[in-house]
Amino acid sequence: MKTYDEKHIKNVVLLGAAKSGKTTLSETMLFEAGIISKRGTVEEANTVSDYHEIEYERGSSVYATCLHTEWRDYKINIIDTPGLEDFIGEVISSIRVCDTALLLLHAQYGVEVGTELIWDYVDKYRKPTILAVNHLDNEEANFSKVVDDAKRILGPAVTIMQYPVNQGIGFNSVIDLLKMTMYRFPADGGKPEKLPIPDSEKERAEQLHNELVEKAAENDDTLMERYFEKGSLDEDEMREGLKIGMLQHQVFPVFCLSAKRNMGSGRLMGFIDNVAPSAVEMPPETTEDGQPVPCDPDGPACLFVFKTLLEPHIGRLTFFKVLSGEVRAGMELMNEKGGGTERLNQLFIADGKNRNPVDRLRSGDIGCTLKLKSTLTNHTLNDKSFNAQVDPIHFPPPKVRTAIEARNKTDDEKLGEVLAEIHMEDPTLEIEYNRELKQVILHGQGDLHLAVTRWRLENIYKMQVDYLPAKIPYRETIQKPAMANYRHKKQSGGAGQFGEVYMKIEPYYEGMPPLKDFPVRDSEEIELSWGGKLVFNNCIVGGAIDARFLPSILKGVMEKMQEGPLTGSYVRDVRVSVYDGKMHPVDSNDISFKIAGMMAFREAFHQAAPQLLEPVYDIETTAPDYMSGDIMSELQSRRSIITGMDTLNGNQVIKARTPQAELDKLYAALRNTTQGKAKIKALFAEYAPVPMDVQRKLSEEYNKVAVSS
């Protein structure tokens, strides 16, 4: 395979909502370039891009897939991405390493919800963007409405490069405003006929052409001067201005497509070749400490891993972008984060499941390799003379969760290993081994994300699993002071056990006044690993309890705080003062005072108005204004407290505080209520008291289980 220099490599990510036609377009681009001899279809499950079994079953993309074409002396690397929010991790990593975002808009539906969600990340990374209105042969196609929607949501940078002459069932012609030519496609698509612009379209074409010239000129002072001098720009000058505008995120060119009928892809690829920036023209990647990593073909070798994939019968595939220098097969590179040296035994250019071996890859290119030992997604591999850790991809926090367990208990250990493998592939699926809740909890981006994970476990790894409701990490505390004492006495022949403890407990809060009831000999303030504090006061005078037994009393209190009396949850924010007790010269020992301290704390706790606390999250929901009433009703029905409202880009932003016990159900409910149009963010806020009826119910359930066990 030909080796391309950094100026002739273009990296493009295909983005858009589900069913916008990304996979079909990628297939058409490969066919037009001669990479494949026949176009597959999503319906027939024979495309190059969608090749995993789950994608065949679902009829849509689940994974981001690397492809490539070679078009007129340029190499175009393509990453075809899923269109659903549940697989947003695949989308984000692809946006990160590509230099141009090709955003597909459905000619009937315009800027859909999935498109808006994806756009947030394109905008965040400031990627040069091309818009392609696809499905112009759809009978409900409305190009003008799509462009108006795009301008409203994406801004005034949306710039028409082409428009359809006859959208709808008979679509076959577009006016190209850069070349001022009409392209008419044959019935089966492919190479179009170039024709003069019809008289009926000349006025509109001239007006839009002038707007395009102005848009190209306004991004560069030199071009603006030429425009004022000549009154126009030639084609090369317009390309120059459009590229500058794309790099500045001030121009989003709009193209016309029917990917299914192979109309428009060749012109689009030509524009990518001639105008879309290459990696060397983009701002350089930066290291974790903010230092640039220039895309220099003569610099030290540096590559960034953006994707890890486990393929059956092959093993681990590692996908990377060469940020600097050149990598060659057999090269050894350092991985500071993963540890040690990695040898790149083989290098490949990927086309779906097919891998094309290459000897070397230059800066700006995208490739993959096999069977690296310890290199994972977000790792950087460097030449031994160069030490750079590239700023990692930051994935969004999970939105839903479920507990998981193997149906066959002998598979517990294997389940842990398999989940670790899946997380290695998909960093947005987080696995939590929660000792407090005694559950393994999966955190994902949505119900479909979790459902696909279960499918993989059962179909790829042949493991039967059950999803269970994830428990809530409640906390217990007290609302008033209380005093209690407990005598532990046990005699069973020989040395016995004896310990008696008198104790006062109080709610702890920052800045509370010192204890006045008893003299405090010494005090210990303990930051609890589960949040909150325990203050332990030794108020013993006169030797009622020997000082050597105080650590045992504290140990008993701490043990009970790890399994609170109300629901077995952790206890927090309590001040404990041991002020009296008794001991026996022979029978008193550590275990006696540990038990006495534990039981005294338990009895005092029940008298101190115990309060159950639940984790509460700050929720921010963004959706169209007309949906705000339904959203507020849904929030309030799930114990949420509305804390504020605002507007953003024509949308309503509703802020609320929601208990975690309602959060998983709320996310699914809001998705349904808004047809997926709501953007939802959740951030832990605090622990807050649960309503007394909920506390009573949870306490009764806990006591029933305790009695039965």
Q: What is the DSSP string of 141-169?
A: --HHHHHHHHHHHH-TTEEESEEESS-ST
Helix extents (H) in 400-446: 412-425
**Is 168 within the bounds of a domain?**
yes
Q: What confidence tens digit (pLDDT) does each residue in 354-406 have?
A: 999 999 999 999 999 998 989 999 999 999 888 889 999 999 999 999 999 99
pLDDT value of position 1: 65
Average pLDDT for 662-668: 87
- Using DSSP bridges, classify how beta strands 610-624 and 651-659 pair: parallel, antiparallel or unpaired: antiparallel
Q: What confidence tens digit (pLDDT) does each residue in 439-471 have?
A: 999 999 999 999 999 999 999 999 999 999 999
Q: What confidence tens digit (pLDDT) does each residue in 93-152 have?
A: 999 999 999 999 999 999 987 788 899 999 999 999 999 999 999 999 999 999 999 998
**Is 706 within the bounds of a domain?**
no
Instruction: State whether 106 and 225 are in the same domain.
Output: yes
**Is 171 within the bounds of a domain?**
yes
Q: What confidence tens digit (pLDDT) does each residue in 517-534 have?
A: 899 999 999 999 999 999
Instruction: State whether 193 and 131 are in the same domain.
Output: yes
- The answer to whether residue 494 scores a pLDDT higher than 80 is no
**Is 699 within the bounds of a domain?**
no
The residue to which tokens 């042969």 are assigned: 137
CATH code of residue 426: 3.30.70.870
Q: What confidence tens digit (pLDDT) does each residue in 266-304 have?
A: 999 999 999 999 999 999 999 999 999 999 999 999 999
- The answer to whether residue 709 scores a pLDDT higher than 60 is no
pLDDT value of position 708: 64
Instruction: State whether 593 and 619 are in the same domain.
Output: no
- Contact predicate 570/530, CB 8 Å: yes
Nearest to 522 by CA among 506, 509, 535: 535
The helix/strand/coil state of 406 is strand
If one counts the domains in the chain, the total is 5
Instruction: State whether 148 and 16 are in the same domain.
Output: yes
Q: How far apart are CA 64 and CA 51, in angstroms?
A: 11
The residue to which tokens 């019968």 are assigned: 313
- Contact predicate 164/174, CB 8 Å: yes
Instruction: State whether 69 and 94 are in the same domain.
Output: yes
- To the question of pTM greater than 0.75 for the whole model, the response is yes
Q: Report which residue type is found at 313.
A: H
Instruction: State whether 365 and 255 are in the same domain.
Output: no
Q: Report which residue type is found at 548.
A: R
**Is 342 within the bounds of a domain?**
yes
**Is 91 within the bounds of a domain?**
yes
Residue 454, phi-psi category: left (phi > 0), alpha (psi -120 to 50), beta (remainder): alpha
CATH code of residue 568: 3.30.230.10
Distances (CA, A) of 125 to 81, 98, 106, 215, 250: 17, 10, 23, 22, 14
Q: What percent of the chain has pLDDT over 70?
A: 99
CATH code of residue 632: 3.30.70.240
- Contact predicate 136/256, CB 8 Å: yes
- Contact predicate 264/182, CB 8 Å: no
Instruction: State whether 38 and 186 are in the same domain.
Output: yes
Helix extents (H) in 186-318: 199-217, 221-230, 235-247, 265-274
Instruction: State whether 242 and 371 are in the same domain.
Output: no
CA atoms within 13 A on the CB side of 203: 1
- The answer to whether residue 585 scores a pLDDT higher than 80 is yes
The count of other CB atoms within 10 Å of the CB of residue 459 is 12
Number of helices (H), then strands (E), in the chain = 16, 38
* Helix or strand holding residue 505 (H, E): strand 497-507
- Contact predicate 67/49, CB 8 Å: yes
Nearest to 132 by CA among 156, 153, 162: 162
| Six token digits for residue 458 | 């059962």
Instruction: State whether 201 and 318 are in the same domain.
Output: no
**Segments forming the whole domain that contains residue 442:** 400-468
Q: How far apart are CA 486 and CA 685, in angstroms?
A: 38
Q: What percent of the chain has pLDDT over 90?
A: 82
Domain final residue, candidates 238, 265, 281: 281
CATH code of residue 364: 2.40.30.10
**Is 293 within the bounds of a domain?**
yes
Instruction: State whether 540 and 654 are in the same domain.
Output: no
Instruction: State whether 199 and 254 are in the same domain.
Output: yes
Nearest to 76 by CA among 268, 259, 247: 268
**Is 629 within the bounds of a domain?**
yes
Q: What confidence tens digit (pLDDT) does each residue in 178-215 have?
A: 999 999 999 989 999 999 999 999 999 999 999 999 99
| Six token digits for residue 622 | 């963004």
**Sheet strands side by side (includes 158-160):** 65-71, 74-80, 9-15, 100-106, 129-134, 252-256, 158-160
Instruction: State whether 262 and 121 are in the same domain.
Output: yes
Domain final residue, candidates 262, 281, 300: 281
pLDDT value of position 634: 92
The helix/strand/coil state of 588 is coil
- The answer to whether residue 44 scores a pLDDT higher than 80 is yes
